[in-house]
Each structure stands twice: as structure tokens, then as C-alpha cells.
């Protein structure tokens, strides 16, 4: 007897339907075909033990399991549950008249319980797109899958529960999540707030500009100046996620297995902060079983690289292409996948090996040339891709001991949102451009036209500091963002002066001990 059950395989951050065909015939062999990996081949023992705990014995018949399409590699233990149901129905141990109307996925324990799996959200999206009546998933993943509306989502805890449901002996209630209501209720709640930050008004301003235009930013300052502390507060002033962005971000984290039990739609922009010992593969994604890397987990959010020069050169250089294209294509001998990587890069570093170059009170103890050499760990092309370079100095004691709170994240966020709304109207006809940082050279000529006076300011800065063509584009983009924050339709002199001041590391005097380095 031939029986078909339906599951799904994740490719990239999307899913495709996998048809699991089970045939029971004469013989005793148990065979799985269809490009299964080791975890799928090992399903026999888990299925056999789970069936026994559920009151059924593994049939003494020849069983062939085919997983179609046969040219797509099937990975992981999530196919245990559909295989078990297929074997039981193919051997006549129970009947399931509506089996073809459900997608079924889950890992089985030896005691018959159903364990959580990765990638449930894209599976539920694909099940709805393919017209399934419902999807049966582990109870631990049910709220994650229930984010998808217009499809019944059933959470199960045991194999026996699935059997009774499919043969009509037990009724399961589908899990319903009011996605929009929950999304709206929790999107403005943050653990960290800029009101806790004392002083550092110039740095707060630079971070506000970065969030308003989606610009990459590098913070340079001595230990203890507050670089990491302020970077962690960035999500609280970034524009809120749209429902589409939240769904895409949640899909990535679902595929990577980063969602906690009972998780639903992500409502805050992600903040990823990998250690500087990370490998290139862990950063961009891939591996034997392809998985999203940190740059994809930071999609629609912030990728924070603390101690920037301490990252290996090979790791930093892989960032160059995703920073421009906002996606990463990973090609290997056995697969090719593409992951989104639209993140805002926020990096921090000490100004020199000892950490006190340009410090107002502590002398730098580095030997001559050490400051320039330390900065040289970051390549020029990568540094050019960072729009804003801002120095942080220690907060004076009077400001640090003040009981007065700083400006709240909500107030800063309101200005950021207003600037983003201006950009949304500006780029309404550009489907792939959402903020100033993403403008193309053609758009720069259209939206960043300069008066002769403002052009002279930019020309003098480019010539004086010997900046590259990419730095020229970055200054224009940042100036456009500063003008948007001011509600100005044109870029004025004060906007250009502020934008030029954010290219500190481009200056020829940086790192030289024989000249003063003004900031």
C-alpha cells in the first residue's frame, strides 16, 4: 500500500514541500531514499521506539520511504513524525482519511514525545501557500507557526496525540495568535534607554544621524568611555519594524534555531554582537549544513563589532560585499544559497594599542607609528564603507555625577522616524531603496544637489584630507540625512560641515604624533 505524507525542507530562509512516500510490501528491509542525511537515516530507531511507546509495533514488512523531490538534500530529525505516520498508515495500523490535507513535521523521542525543530515559520508560510488545511508541529513551536494566519496550526506533544487526531478520535484546537495586536503592544518596550547616558551629546547626535539614514558608524575612544553602552541602546532609537520586516527577521532566526520556546513574531530590531574570535563562515553563513551567519541574523537591525581591529583581516574583508549589496550569496560544491544581510554596521575600537591616544588627561604610551599601524588593521576599502567615524572622549566627573537624566530614547526616536518618513516619500518609486544610505550615484545627483557655497565646503574637505570617491558619496548621503533631520529640502552649509566632521579617520593628521589632531 502506498501512502503519502507531507513535510518541508528549508532552503535559504524559505521552505519547499517534501512529499514522503511510504510503501509496505513483502520483505523485512527498511529503506529510505531521496538524498537523506545521516540524521534522517537514523530515524528508524526513533520511529520504532516511539511507535512501541504509543501502542504499536514496527510492522514486519519491507518498507521503502521515498522523500521527493529526490534531488534536494533532506537534513535533520524533523522528518521523524511524518515518516512514522506514513509507516503506520501504509501498513494498515490506522486510517487517516484527511492525511493529505496536513503538513506534518517534528522530531520523535524514544518515549514517543515530539521535540521542537528549526524553521517552523517558513514551513507554515509554505503550507499556507500550497493550500494545506493545516500544519501539525511540536507544541514548543506552535506559537511561532501560528504567526501565519489563514491556516490551522496544531501543536502536539506525543505521537499518540497525532495518531488520534488524524483518525478522528481526538479533537485538537488550533492555536490562534493575533499577530498585529501583539506586534503593536510590545514594539515600543526596551530594556535600555539613552536617558541613562550622561554627557556624550556629540556621540548621541552621531548615532541619531546614523539611525535616521541607516548609515554605518565607527566609534573610536579610550576604554570605559561608553562605546559599547551606547551601541547597545541603538535599537531603542531606530525606526520600528514594519510587519513585513518583522516576519522576514523572524524567519531568519527560525531557520537558525535562535527562537526561544514559545516565541512569536520578533518586534524589536535584532542586535548581534559576535566576539572577535568569530570565523568567516560563522559571520557570513554556510557550513556543511548551510545556516545563516551573524550578518543575516542582524538583518533589519544592528551588527555590533566591538574591538574592531582585533577581528582577523579575513573576517573583516568578507563584510565588504554584503555592506554594498545587502545580501550574501554562498556557493559551495554541493549547494548555493542566498541570505538577506541588510544590517547597519556599528563598530567600536580603541584609538591605539594602549587605548589612550588623544586622551585629554592620560598620555599615550605607544611607540612612534603604532597608532597608524593599529588603524591599518582595518583596510581602506572597508573604512570607506563606514559613513560616520566619531571619536568618544571620557565624560567629565561633573557630568558623570549629575543626577539629571539625558534625553530619552523616545524623543530621539521620534526625530529619527520623522526623518525616515521623509525618505520613504522620497524613495517611494524605488523598490530597493528605503533610506539615504542606500542611495545610488544616480540618486545622489538627483537628491543631493549642492549650491556653489556648499560645494566649496565639500571640495575643500576632499582636497585637504585626500578623501576617496567613495568617501565623497558617503559625505553626501550623511549630509542629506542631517538635512532631513532638520526638515530642510536642501543641503545647507551647516549640514555639510557636520557631515564632513564625521570623517575623522580620513584626515591625514590622524595617528601622527608630530601634529595636533583636532576633532
Rounded to the nearest 5°, which phi and psi values hold at 85? -65, -40
Distances (CA, A) of 370 to 78, 378, 505, 512, 519: 53, 14, 15, 10, 20
Judge whether 78 and 117 are in contact, CB under 8 Å.
Answer: yes
Measured from the Cβ of residue 133, the count of other Cβ atoms closer than 10 Å reads: 12
pLDDT of res. 510: 56
- What share of the chain has pLDDT > 90, as a percent? 58
Question: What is the residue-averaged pLDDT of the chain?
Answer: 89
Residue in the structure block whose three cell numbers are 511540536: 138
Residues 258-285: what's their mean pLDDT? 89
Measured from the Cβ of residue 382, the count of other Cβ atoms closer than 10 Å reads: 19
pLDDT in tens, 279-315: 999 999 988 788 999 999 999 999 999 999 999 999 9
3 state SS of 251 = helix
Q: Give the integer Cα–Cα distance in Å for 356 and 368.
A: 14
Which of 290, 294, 182 has its CA nearest to residue 246?
182
Whether the per-residue pLDDT at 128 is higher than 90: the answer is: yes
Whether the per-residue pLDDT at 450 is higher than 60: the answer is: yes
3 state SS of 442 = helix
pLDDT in tens, 192-215: 888 888 888 899 999 999 999 999
What pTM was computed for the model? 0.88
Amino acid at each position: 500500500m502506498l501512502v503519502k505524507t507531507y513535510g518541508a525542507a528549508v532552503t535559504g530562509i524559505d521552505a519547499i514541500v517534501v512529499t514522503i512516500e511510504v510503501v509496505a510490501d513483502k520483505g523485512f528491509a527498511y529503506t529510505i531514499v531521496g538524498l537523506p542525511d545521516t540524521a534522517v537515516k537514523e530515524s528508524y530507531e526513533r520511529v520504532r521506539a516511539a511507535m512501541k511507546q504509543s501502542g504499536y509495533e514496527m510492522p514486519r514488512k519491507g518498507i521503502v520511504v521515498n522523500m521527493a523531490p529526490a534531488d534536494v538534500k533532506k537534513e535533520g530529525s524533523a522528518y521523524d513524525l511524518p515518516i512514522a505516520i506514513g509507516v503506520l498508515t501504509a501498513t494498515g495500523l490506522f486510517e487517516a482519511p484527511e492525511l493529505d490535507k496536513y503538513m506534518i513535521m517534528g522530531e520523535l523521542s524514544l518515549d514517543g514525545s515530539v521535540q521542537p525543530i528549526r524553521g517552523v515559520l517558513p514551513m507554515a508560510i509554505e503550507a499556507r501557500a500550497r493550500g494545506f488545511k493545516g500544519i501539525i508541529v511540536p507544541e514548543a513551536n506552535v506559537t511561532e507557526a501560528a504567526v501565519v494566519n489563514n491556516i490551522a496550526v496544531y501543536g502536539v506533544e506525543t505521537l499518540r496525540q497525532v495518531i488520534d487526531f488524524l483518525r478522528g478520535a481526538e479533537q485538537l484546537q488550533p492555536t490562534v495568535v493575533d499577530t498585529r495586536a501583539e506586534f503593536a503592544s510590545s514594539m515600543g518596550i526596551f530594556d535600555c534607554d539613552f536617558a541613562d547616558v550622561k554627557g556624550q551629546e556629540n556621540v548621541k547626535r552621531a548615532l541619531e544621524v546614523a539611525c535616521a539614514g541607516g548609515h554605518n558608524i565607527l566609534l573610536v575612544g579610550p576604554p570605559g568611555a561608553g562605546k559599547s553602552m551606547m551601541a547597545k541602546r541603538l535599537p531603542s532609537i531606530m525606526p520600528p519594524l514594519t510587519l513585513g520586516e518583522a516576519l522576514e527577521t523572524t524567519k531568519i532566526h527560525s531557520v537558525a534555531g535562535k527562537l526561544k520556546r514559545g516565541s512569536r513574531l520578533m518586534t524589536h530590531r535584532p542586535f548581534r554582537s559576535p566576539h572577535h574570535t568569530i570565523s568567516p563562515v560563522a559571520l557570513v553563513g554556510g557550513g556543511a549544513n548551510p545556516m545563516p551567519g551573524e550578518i543575516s541574523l542582524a538583518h533589519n537591525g544592528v551588527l555590533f563589532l566591538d574591538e574592531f581591529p582585533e577581528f582577523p583581516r579575513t573576517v573583516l574583508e568578507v563584510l565588504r560585499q554584503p555592506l554594498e549589496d545587502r545580501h550574501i550569496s554562498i556557493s559551495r560544491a554541493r549547494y548555493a544559497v542566498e541570505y538577506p544581510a541588510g544590517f547597519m554596521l556599528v563598530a567600536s575600537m580603541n584609538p591605539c594599542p594602549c587605548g589612550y591616544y588623544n586622551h585629554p588627561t592620560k598620555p599615550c604610551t605607544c611607540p612612534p607609528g603604532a597608532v597608524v599601524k593599529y588603524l591599518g588593521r582595518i583596510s581602506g576599502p572597508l573604512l570607506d564603507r563606514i559613513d560616520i567615524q566619531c571619536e568618544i572622549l571620557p565624560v567629565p566627573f561633573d557630568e558623570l555625577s549629575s543626577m539629571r537624566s539625558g534625553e530619552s530614547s523616545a524623543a530621539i526616536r521620534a526625530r529619527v522616524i520623522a526623518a525616515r518618513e521623509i525618505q520613504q516619500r522620497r524613495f517611494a518609486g524605488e523598490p530597493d531603496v528605503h533610506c539615504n544610505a542606500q542611495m545610488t550615484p544616480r540618486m545622489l545627483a538627483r537628491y543631493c544637489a549642492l549650491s556653489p557655497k556648499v560645494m566649496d565646503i565639500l571640495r575643500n574637505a576632499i582636497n585637504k584630507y585626500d578623501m576617496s570617491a567613495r568617501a565623497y558619496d558617503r559625505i553626501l548621503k550623511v549630509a542629506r540625512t542631517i538635512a532631513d533631520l532638520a526638515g530642510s529640502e536642501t543641503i545647507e552649509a551647516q549640514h555639510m560641515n557636520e557631515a564632513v566632521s564625521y570623517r575623522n579617520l580620513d584626515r591625514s593628521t590622524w595617528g601622527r604624533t608630530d601634529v595636533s589632531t583636532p576633532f
